[in-house]
Structure 1
Amino acid sequence: MAHAIVTGFDGSARSEAAVGWAAAEAALRGVPLRVVHAWPWLGTARADRPAAVAPRHSALPELDELAERLRQVHPGLDVVTEAVADDPADALLARATDHRLVVLGSRGLGGFAGLLVGSVGLAVAARSAVPVVLVRDGAPAAPADGGRRPEVVVGVAGESAPAVLEFAFAEAERRGARVRAVHGWEAVPFWTAAGWVPPQEDVELRGAELRDELVKALVPVRSAHPGVEAVAETRTGGAGHALVAASADADLVVVGRRAHRLGPRLGAVAHAAIHHCAAPVAVVPHD
């Protein structure tokens, strides 16, 4: 199932939302969906340890019912379910290498009120070798049909990663969506009697320069996806705040995660998107 999508299910509302989103994505891509239910177990599950396998038997009927509901919503979708006694993050990471995408649920209150994102979601997003999408409870499985054109928002850093842009444009192409490429930056202030303020002329000039650079950075991926409309946008206030502000009406937000020598971790922009964007957030690993 190298081209399949894998998602985690624990019975919660947020995992239901994630599974629904993953099923819609699998149907869009025409690939199978693997639904994994994992529970922590201290020690190795063995045939002589019946307590380790009991939760699996109790989970199977619920997984079968979930798979049947997904097939009814998406006729023809190939759904495979699996229950395993293992740490959920470890179980999903072990399967991620054989799949194209991991989809997990996250929880929170929205805005900048201080969210809680599940530790499993954060661990997998920080360590996965393939893109991970985190979906909030209540997020629609597909773009709403309200006359508004769907939009994929992607955060673009100074050194834009081709893998991140390619993921965003490919997702937009599948959905008939527009891409909004956002680069956030901080204006250098100067001192006046009213305090530290940026000179407006410098802000406008620097913003125009950065937008030109952003447009140039999009040329290769726009050439690869000529049917996708793209908007280049620069905003002051920092990369994280700019991305969150631009994504208010987004259907999907895409951010990059750079590999670090000191070990896997999520950067500040990825954290901002995961914690504060209401839309599903795709974290794409890159060099």
Structure 2
Amino acid sequence: MLRPIVVGLDGSHESLAAADWAAREALRRGLPLRLVHAWEGLPADASDLPELEAPRHWARRILRGALDRLNERYPQLYLSGDQIARPAADALVAEGAESELLVLGSRSFSGFGGFMAGSVASATLAHAARPVVLVRAGQTLEDEHLPDTEGRPSAHAPYRAVVVGVDPAHSCEELLAFAFESATLRTAPLRVVYAWHLPYMPVAAEAKARRAMRETAEGTLDHLLGPWREKYPALELDVLAPEGRPPERLLDAAKDAGLLIVGRRIRPARLGAHIGPITHAMVHHVHCPIAVIPHE
């Protein structure tokens, strides 16, 4: 049985943008799309108080409106939707566990705080067992593509690059599998980034150590990507091993990307759930959709 792509709805512009992105991704992957709206209100038969009817009506309207909108825009898509009476993060984690991919809207604010993913998205990210994609408000089909020859937004130009950040010290198989598949589905170039940082040492030793570390990083990437090159020989691959702190280098590499892919290590329950500092930075500062892939 095919796992659906699941999108969480809350009526916001961000969640509507996420629903559109999820619909396009479902068509690319040949998968059904399931819309979920979680609401902690009382069950329909819990009370006849008229003041409870308004929130119930609004909750139903969110789901119904999104279903109608997507049915009109993507008539070839197999689409379903459900309302779930439980806390949003709990509902999304449970739904995501049965999905191929969970897609959420990601809220953004200007100012010193940068981008904020929102409490529900953050809690879901930290506990999800399957890939999660965050989408900003305003993301459109044209944003997934390069501008046309005259510099105008276009849905017919080639796709923007897919970017994936890797750390060969940890498992990369899940990240690379998702990245190569995503790039192949889009016929887009794949940009693989492994940033390394020179530790403090005497100035006289820096040049030699820097050269050695760069060669080691490039060799490690070649070894890591060897089997994937063989599996996807037609895919355009751009391999980068820049010196610098990983969050900064990954942000640089993703400035013109259509999709950024990062990992989240699954931690033992006793240590609590976290998304890690690099993924945290990407979620808060990257403008394009970002896929977070849990891995051991």
Q: State the TM-score, normalized to the length of structure 2.
A: 0.86
In 1: Cα distance, 2:277 partner to 2:110 partner: 17
Contact 1:254 1:282 in 2 (8 A): yes
Per-residue CA deviations over 1:74-124 (Å, capped at 9, x if unaligned) read 221111122222211111111112211000011224798532211111111
Q: Which residues of 2 match residues 35-184 of structure 1 at below 5 A?
A: 35-41=35-41, 45=43, 47-49=45-47, 55-109=55-109, 114-141=114-141, 143-146=144-147, 147=157, 149-157=159-167, 158-184=169-195
Change (3 A) 1:50 1:34: farther
1:232 matches 2:236: no
Change (3 A) 1:32 1:111: farther
Name the amino acid aligned to 1:74: Y
In 2: Cα distance, 1:217 partner to 1:88 partner: 38
- Deviation, 1:129, is 1.0
Q: Which residues of 2 match residues 8-47 of structure 1 at below 5 A?
A: 8-41=8-41, 45=43, 47=45
1:187 matches 2:198: yes
Change (3 A) 1:61 1:110: closer
Structural RMSD (CA): 2.4
Change (3 A) 1:85 1:198: farther
- Deviation, 1:215, is 1.6
In 2: Cα distance, 1:162 partner to 1:134 partner: 21
- Deviation, 1:268, is 1.0
Contact 2:159 2:258 in 1 (8 A): no
**What secondary structure does 1:122 align onto?**
helix
The equivalent of 1:286 in structure 2 is 295
The equivalent of 1:272 in structure 2 is 281
In 2: Cα distance, 1:211 partner to 1:58 partner: 54
Contact 1:110 1:278 in 2 (8 A): no
In 2: Cα distance, 1:189 partner to 1:58 partner: 58
Name the amino acid aligned to 2:221: L
**What secondary structure does 2:292 align onto?**
strand
Give structure 1 stretches of 5+ with no counterpart: none
- Deviation, 1:240, is 1.5
Contact 2:171 2:295 in 1 (8 A): no
Q: State the TM-score, normalized to the length of structure 1.
A: 0.88
**What secondary structure does 1:96 align onto?**
helix
**What secondary structure does 1:174 align onto?**
helix
Contact 2:14 2:136 in 1 (8 A): yes
Percent of matched pairs sharing the same residue: 38
- Deviation, 1:34, is 0.9
Change (3 A) 1:112 1:169: farther
Give structure 2 stretches of 5+ with no counterpart: 148-156
Once the two structures are overlaid, the 10-residue window that deviates more, 71-80 or 121-130, is 71-80
Aligned residues: 281
Change (3 A) 1:160 1:49: same
- Deviation, 1:237, is 2.0
In 1: Cα distance, 2:111 partner to 2:278 partner: 15
In 1: Cα distance, 2:75 partner to 2:112 partner: 39
Change (3 A) 1:269 1:35: same
Per-residue CA deviations over 1:195-245 (Å, capped at 9, x if unaligned) read xx9834432331122012112101122222222221111122211211111
Tell me which protein shows more strand as a share of its residues.
Answer: 1
